């Protein structure tokens, strides 16, 4: 038998095991963790190999596997070295290609060997998990990074990934904890950090925090780019100062900042919200005809949504067709809005034609989602079985995501189909995707639309108890639920809670409050 170089203290033991292997069916793996060797013996169907594995968890060592193959006449020694970098490459590859579960299995295997991924692999894992709404797992990995001091050169990417994930779910308190940790570790915010915060605060109706972010950017001399100016326009818009919002455009021109699609989208959204539909269309035409940035999916979604909102369904359908002709396909949420309005008017033929045009052009997975939405809104027979519907989507190759579940739930909620909406929520949880604030707001809407205001209120309390931070949509939807139930006295109370939370009321919330106060005045 060939001599193999091993630690002298274990030479004899290894030799004994090798001798045993020639007489019985046995496989042996010996693992090293922090310098100690632990033998693990397994029985195999043939007496031809013993594998001895050494793993050194300290940095700089790689996983080394010595395989001893024996036959009756001779013995061979094969040395195979699997580096930690191989594990890291596999983890990052799985994250890039959508195999997050496989990446987590590789992580567990690496952990069992007493090692950890490198900082970049942790970043990939955390970013991917947050993108899928699996923030609890992402947070656990982040705590692991902190515990082992594995930040490396990527601490800011880790923090930004966590911030984005938490705020996407509406978990403001957890996001603030990340910001506190950044301050303790002297990690400076960058442009992306500020944009993540500003995007959340503006969409949540938190005016004071939004301006605080903008002022901090100015103080630290972080450039106010078109994204930031677009959010400032939205802040003015949401607070009834739409003319001042448009005045920002002049400021942008004065400083020589190029007008990009983000700014244009904010202008379209501002005009649309205040019913200035002709002006919104003029902006759209300018984008199409000039050398300025062309309309993207957000531009079309905005202009179609506001035409639907103001009852201009025919124009919305024209825009819907125009968008597809330009090679841009509709967001499923806009499709929900359109077919709901057409369904209310009994225009089922228009729904069929609209879907047929999508079916001819759209990618296979998105076609399946549209078909499901037609089944739900069109009530063609299969909409009652949410589980069957999700199963059908998965069989069509549609990967379950938070956005998919929220879209389907919203389609049920708009019709007040509470049981089906709750079923979609459970299916979402069964897929390992944590419910986000959007889904819980949809659930409030489902109960409110069906007249179950107390159930809607219970979801609101659940949101607060679960660590989510209610946004302006949460409060407005809850106020609408009590308005539908003619419980007008509760509306001012909800409005006060909203103001106390730091959310700034939008036009819809103020209108609901005004209507409730008028009814209460008449009663008295």
Mean local confidence (pLDDT), 312-330? 82
Specify the residue for token string 């994204």: 227
* Model pLDDT for residues 11-43, shown as the tens digit of each residue: 434 343 333 344 443 333 333 333 333 333 333
Nearest to 57 by CA among 33, 92, 79, 90: 33
Q: Report the length, in residues, of the chain.
A: 524
Mean local confidence (pLDDT), 394-420? 83
For residue 3, what pLDDT is reported?
A: 41
* Model pLDDT for residues 200-230, shown as the tens digit of each residue: 998 888 888 999 999 999 999 998 888 888 8
Helix boundaries (H) for 116-170: 119-131, 135-148, 155-169
- Calculate what percentage of the chain has a pLDDT beyond 70: 75
Cα 413 to Cα 283, 426, 444, 479, 494, distances in angstroms: 33, 15, 9, 16, 21
Q: Are 507 and 479 in contact (CB under 8 A)?
A: no
Both tokens of 262, joined, read 């983000």
CA distance 516 to 524: 13
CATH of 224-328, one of 1.25.40.10, 1.10.3720.10, 1.10.40.30, 3.40.710.10: 1.25.40.10
- The C-alpha angle 487, 492, 498, rounded to 5 degrees, equals 120
Both tokens of 199, joined, read 């995007």
* Model pLDDT for residues 368-389, shown as the tens digit of each residue: 676 677 666 655 445 667 887 7
DSSP 204: T
CA distance 472 to 57: 49
**Domain covering 84-188 in this structure, CATH number:** 1.25.40.10
For residue 475, what pLDDT is reported?
A: 95
Mean local confidence (pLDDT), 454-467? 93
Least confident stretch, 37-41, 75-79, 520-524: 37-41
For residue 366, what pLDDT is reported?
A: 61
**What is the helix (H) or strand (E) element at residue 161, kind and residue range?**
helix 155-169
- Calculate what percentage of the chain has a pLDDT beyond 90: 23
DSSP 78: E
Instruction: Say if residue 311's pLDDT is above 50.
Output: yes
For residue 136, what pLDDT is reported?
A: 83
The torsion region of residue 155 among left (phi > 0), alpha (psi -120 to 50) and beta comes to alpha
* Model pLDDT for residues 471-504, shown as the tens digit of each residue: 999 999 999 999 999 999 999 999 999 999 988 8
Instruction: Return mean pLDDT, the chain.
Output: 77
CA distance 419 to 446: 9
Least confident stretch, 100-109, 144-153, 346-355, 423-432: 346-355
Nearest to 304 by CA among 334, 274, 329, 263: 334
Least confident stretch, 17-31, 99-113, 115-129, 172-186: 17-31
Q: 153-189: string of b/e by CB count within 10 Å (b at 16+)?
A: ebbbbbbbbbbbbbbbbbbbebbeebbeebeeeebeb
Domain map (residue ranges) of the chain:
8-82, 84-188, 224-328, 331-418, 436-524
Question: Would you say domain 436-524 falls under CATH 3.30.379?
Answer: no
Q: How many CA atoms lie within 13 A of 334 on its CB side?
A: 25
Beta strand pairing call for 63-70 and 75-82: antiparallel
For residue 482, what pLDDT is reported?
A: 95
For residue 395, what pLDDT is reported?
A: 78
């Amino acid at each position: 038998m060939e001599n193999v170089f091993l630690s002298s203290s274990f030479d004899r033991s290894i030799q004994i095991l090798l001798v045993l292997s020639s007489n019985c069916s046995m496989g042996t793996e010996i693992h090293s963790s922090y310098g100690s060797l632990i033998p693990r013996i397994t029985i195999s169907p043939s007496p031809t190999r013993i594998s001895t594995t050494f793993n050194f968890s300290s940095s700089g060592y790689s996983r080394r596997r010595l395989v001893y193959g024996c036959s009756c006449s001779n013995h061979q020694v094969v040395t195979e070295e699997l580096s930690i970098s191989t594990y890291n490459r596999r983890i990052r590859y799985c994250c890039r290609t959508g195999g997050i579960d496989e990446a987590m299995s590789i992580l567990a295997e690496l952990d069992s060997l007493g090692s950890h991924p490198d900082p970049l692999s942790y970043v990939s894992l955390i970013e991917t998990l947050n993108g899928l709404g699996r923030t609890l797992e992402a947070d656990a990995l982040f705590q692991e990074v902190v515990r082992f001091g594995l930040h490396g050169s990527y601490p800011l990417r880790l923090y930004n990934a966590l911030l984005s994930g938490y705020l996407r779910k509406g978990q403001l308190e957890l996001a603030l904890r990340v910001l506190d940790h950044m301050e303790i570790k002297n990690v400076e915010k960058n442009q992306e950090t500020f944009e993540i915060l500003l995007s959340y605060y503006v969409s949540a109706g938190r005016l004071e925090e939004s301006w605080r972010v903008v002022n901090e950017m100015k103080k630290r001399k972080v450039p106010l780019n078109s994204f930031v100016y677009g959010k400032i326009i939205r802040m003015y818009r949401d607070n009834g100062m739409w003319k001042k919002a448009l005045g920002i455009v002049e400021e942008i021109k004065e400083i020589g900042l190029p007008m990009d699609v983000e700014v244009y989208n904010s202008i379209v959204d501002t005009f649309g919200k205040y019913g200035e539909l002709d002006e919104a269309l003029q902006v759209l035409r300018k984008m199409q005809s000039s050398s300025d940035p062309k309309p993207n999916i957000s531009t079309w979604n905005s202009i179609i949504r506001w035409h639907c909102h103001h009852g201009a369904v025919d124009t919305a359908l024209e825009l819907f067709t125009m968008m597809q002709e330009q090679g841009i396909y509709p967001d499923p949420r806009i499709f929900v809005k359109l077919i709901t309005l057409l369904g209310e008017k009994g225009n089922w033929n228009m729904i069929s034609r609209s879907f047929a045009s999508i079916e001819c052009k759209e990618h296979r997975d998105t076609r399946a989602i549209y078909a499901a939405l037609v089944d739900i809104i069109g009530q063609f027979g299969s909409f009652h079985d949410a589980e069957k519907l999700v199963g059908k989507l998965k069989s069509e190759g549609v990967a379950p995501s938070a956005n998919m579940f929220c879209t389907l739930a919203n389609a049920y909620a708009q019709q007040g189909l509470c049981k089906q909406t709750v079923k979609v929520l459970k299916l979402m949880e069964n897929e390992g995707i944590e419910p986000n604030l959007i889904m819980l707001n949809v659930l409030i809407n489902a109960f409110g639309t069906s007249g179950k205001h107390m159930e809607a209120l219970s979801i609101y309390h659940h949101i607060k108890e679960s660590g989510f931070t209610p946004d302006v949509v949460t409060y407005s939807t809850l106020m609408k639920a009590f308005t539908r139930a003619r419980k007008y006295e509760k509306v001012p109370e909800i409005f006060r809670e909203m103001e106390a939370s730091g959310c700034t009321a939008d036009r819809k919330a103020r209108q609901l409050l005004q209507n409730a106060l008028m009814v209460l005045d008449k009663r008295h």
